[in-house]
């Protein structure tokens, strides 16, 4: 307990767990407790000195607008995420911000989520590795990070109150691991709870989430802050493990907490613990901050440009149309309003006032000595663009190559609402078809936060460059890639489907009557497409570059088969004529699982940069969690065969190696509802049950022989005992009999193997 707590009055303690204003906490000057400032967000510091709001409506101080998470996730580059985090930490300090609200590590359950641009991935391992690096970078500068939104916050529709009903295994395997990794490896200052309910209880007052899992299972040492306005009942929230409600509710929440303590409905020790956690984090942050703070905005702009190129995904490049020669060749037509008016960030709470803004049209002109002409092609205001189409098609017909900038306007995706389809606007699709009819050399450059279906583009445009929402340096990064100054280094962090109806959450989206059921379970993203054998437009992990690579000499070694660990080595060679990056991806298949498992899961990756002809041995480690699933007793690794796949994306894994783990088989738990089959399969339960049968004068295998077990195996033993009681005409306490059997199992095992 923080020693300051005992010096505080009840009113002061209640005030410390509720904000003072929109972005600040309450000070207690008489004991030297300062106010702490927080602000958004995950890709830029949105510091508002006046006109505060939580949806990015009012102005904020200039700060570097880095690429959004849809792009940074596509970098597969933890080091760049760490550098970005450090830069954001520097800017936070320069703007007197103590805690930065980010990163967002919610899983991309559906491509329709309007806030997917703020989230890193459809895969929990991938999101966890990148999110950890980001938090480490931010906090290396003495600024706290707030990892959000915990938990199961995967849609904007009815987000303030929807009940996300998710089975525990899916939570543990898909929706929790990114948070867990960050908590264990980066020690974030805060975790932000989400608005929604999780299995019937608001996240802000969910004791299982905030106390049992976050603190009990993972050892979280920071404090839990609410999403802005997420607290429904401040007393229940404190009791559940929430430490700070934001923003201020005036005196309403503090007064309710004080009244509850005085009435005995809230244990004051729970309030003291919350205050202690808040003070501990704030003291840690203030103790690690330098007296002088500054930010190099020019260097940060250059970093934003590097990141934007590293996360841009080259989806198609037929005939090696890209990169273009900046000096040799005919006229270049730049078409599309996005080239002149870039869409480089999403709308909502993460909206940043950039320090500067690179426009693709200007940057292309700077780099090219070839003639460059522009036509807007379409407007953002409406879909009646016939005259603009005519002008653009005429320009395309007179040019050697067309750079066509397409994408989603702000009105199509944002925090606060979900998308209803995956299409780019019809006017843009029509324009592409018209241009392709007069010019075969079309490069489509996309600007969008969430994925779009590409059936109107693939096969029409020979080159497709997905730039996502690439931040304030997006225009420069696009020009760098187009002319080969930079390589498109991105690999998809989410599957691009052929059709919305193919997506895993489609039949349950977005729920009804205040409830959304995660009926797809752990089959999210590529796990779903693998399990259902559905074709996709572009798979998870996919991305082209300007060079080529080979993977050779795969080896997988297991030092001790009784320990679930393995080392993967593969030799990567740049077989092309240019320097470039390759992402080695390792997936694991459990060949002998006793439960349903995904076909394969990403468990390791590494991005390497190689010069032409350069060769490097990449070594990756698979730990116990790489082989585990969540079972009734927790994380479980079963003995048996596992296939290790290595390749360039989730559907291109040509290198495979099978290993066998001889780990100790997990002992299943028995309880009052266990079936006869579960008793018969239990190494201790079977002899205990057979002994009990013998003691009644029955054959030991009367219930477990080859005739009885198929007939009665699926029945709970409790039910069978009830039938036996009736048929024998004897009276005995069924609950007591079960407890005796379960106790005998524990005694024979020497450990608690039953749940009584």
Write out the catalytic residue numbers: 227
Structure tokens, 456: 């109107």
Q: Which residues pair with 569 in a beta bridge?
A: 555, 619
d(CA 627, CA 577): 38
Neighbours of 394 (CB within 10 A): 13
d(CA 708, CA 710): 6
d(CA 389, CA 222): 55
**Residue in this structure with the two tokens 């005429």, named with its chain if needed:** 394
Rounded to 5 degrees, what are φ and ψ at 567?
Answer: -120, 125
Give the strand pairing for 332-335 and 38-40. unpaired
Count H helices, E strands: the chain?
22, 28
Q: Cα 69 from chain centroid?
A: 9
Region class of 340: left (phi > 0), else alpha (psi between -120 and 50), else beta:
alpha
Give the DSSP H or E segment for 150. strand 144-150
SS (H, E, C) 585-624: EEEEEECCCCCCCCCCEEEEEEEEEECCCCEEEEEEEECH
Are 574 and 549 spatial neighbours (Cβ–Cβ below 8 Å)?
yes
d(CA 201, CA 242): 13
d(CA 129, CA 181): 7
Give the strand pairing for 401-407 and 566-574. unpaired
d(CA 536, CA 540): 9
DSSP H helical segments within 140-233, as ranges?
168-170, 177-186, 207
Structure tokens, 684: 């201790």
d(CA 281, CA 292): 21
């Amino acid at each position: 307990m923080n020693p300051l707590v005992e010096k505080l009055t009840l009113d002061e303690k209640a005030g410390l767990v509720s904000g003072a204003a929109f972005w600040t906490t309450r000070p207690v000057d008489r004991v030297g407790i300062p106010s702490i400032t927080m602000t958004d967000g995950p890709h830029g510091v949105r510091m508002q000195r006046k006109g505060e709001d939580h949806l990015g409506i009012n102005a904020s101080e200039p700060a570097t607008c880095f690429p959004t998470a849809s792009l940074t996730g596509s970098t597969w580059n933890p080091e760049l995420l760490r550098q970005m985090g450090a830069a954001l930490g520097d800017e936070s300090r320069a703007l007197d911000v103590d805690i930065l609200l980010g990163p967002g590590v919610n899983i991309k359950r559906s491509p329709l989520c309007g806030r997917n641009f703020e989230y890193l991935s459809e895969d929990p391992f991938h999101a966890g590795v990148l999110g950890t690096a980001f938090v480490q970078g931010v906090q290396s500068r003495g600024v706290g990070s707030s990892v959000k939104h915990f938990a199961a916050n995967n849609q904007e529709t009815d987000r303030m109150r929807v009940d996300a009903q998710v089975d525990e295994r899916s939570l543990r395997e898909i929706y929790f691991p990114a948070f867990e990794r960050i908590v264990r490896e980066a020690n974030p200052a805060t975790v932000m709870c989400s608005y929604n309910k999780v299995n019937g209880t608001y996240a802000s007052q969910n004791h299982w989430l905030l106390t049992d899992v976050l603190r009990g299972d993972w050892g979280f040492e920071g404090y839990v802050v609410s999403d802005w306005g997420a607290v429904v009942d401040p007393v229940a929230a404190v009791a559940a493990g929430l430490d700070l409600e934001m923003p201020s509710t005036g005196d309403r929440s503090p007064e309710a907490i004080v009244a509850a303590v005085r009435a005995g409905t809230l244990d004051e020790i729970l309030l003291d613990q919350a205050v202690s956690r808040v003070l501990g984090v704030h003291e840690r942050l203030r103790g690690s901050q330098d007296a002088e703070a500054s930010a190099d905005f020019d260097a940060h702009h250059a970093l934003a440009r590097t990141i934007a190129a590293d996360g841009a995904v080259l989806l198609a490049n037929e005939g090696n149309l890209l990169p273009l020669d900046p000096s040799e060749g005919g006229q270049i037509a730049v078409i599309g309003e996005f080239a002149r008016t870039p869409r480089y960030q999403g709308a909502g709470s993460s909206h940043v006032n950039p320090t500067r803004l690179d426009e693709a049209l200007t940057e292309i002109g700077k780099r090219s000595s070839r003639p460059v002409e522009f036509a807007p092609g379409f407007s953002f205001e409406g879909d009646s663009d016939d005259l603009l189409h005519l002008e653009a098609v005429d320009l395309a017909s007179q040019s050697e190559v067309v750079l066509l900038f397409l994408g989603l306007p702000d009105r199509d995706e944002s925090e606060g609402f979900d998308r209803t389809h995956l299409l780019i606007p019809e006017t843009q699709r029509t324009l592409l078809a018209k241009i392709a009819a007069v010019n075969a050399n079309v490069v489509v450059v996309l600007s969008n936060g969430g994925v779009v279906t590409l059936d109107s583009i693939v096969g029409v445009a020979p080159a497709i460059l997905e730039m996502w929402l690439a931040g304030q340096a997006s225009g420069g990064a696009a020009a760098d890639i187009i002319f080969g100054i930079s390589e498109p280094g991105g690999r998809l962090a989410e599957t691009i489907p052929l059709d919305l109806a193919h997506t895993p959450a489609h039949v349950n989206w977005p729920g009804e009557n205040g409830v959304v059921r995660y009926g797809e379970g752990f089959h999210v993203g590529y796990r779903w497409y693998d399990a259902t054998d559905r074709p996709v437009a572009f798979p998870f992990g996919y991305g082209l570059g300007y060079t080529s690579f080979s993977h050779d000499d795969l080896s997988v070694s297991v030092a001790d088969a009784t320990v679930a660990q393995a080392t993967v080595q593969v030799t990567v060679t740049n077989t092309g004529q240019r320097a470039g990056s390759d992402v080695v991806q390792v997936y694991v298949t459990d060949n002998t699982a006793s439960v349903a498992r995904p076909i394969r899961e990403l468990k390791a990756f590494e991005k390497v940069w190689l010069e032409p002809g350069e060769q490097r041995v990449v070594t990756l480690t698979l730990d116990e969690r790489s082989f585990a699933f969540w079972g009734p007793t927790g994380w479980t690794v079963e003995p048996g065969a596992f296939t290790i796949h290595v390749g360039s994306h989730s559907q291109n894994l040509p290198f495979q190696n099978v290993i066998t783990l001889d780990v100790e088989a997990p002992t299943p738990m028995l309880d009052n509802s266990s079936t006869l089959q579960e008793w018969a399969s239990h190494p201790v339960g079977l002899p205990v049950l057979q002994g009990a049968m013998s003691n009644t004068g029955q054959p030991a295998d009367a219930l477990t022989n080859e005739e009885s077990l198929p007939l009665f195996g699926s029945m709970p033993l409790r039910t069978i005992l009830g039938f036996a009681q009736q048929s024998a005409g004897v009276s005995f306490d069924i609950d007591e009999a079960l407890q005796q059997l379960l106790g005998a199992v524990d005694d024979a095992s020497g450990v608690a193997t039953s749940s009584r």
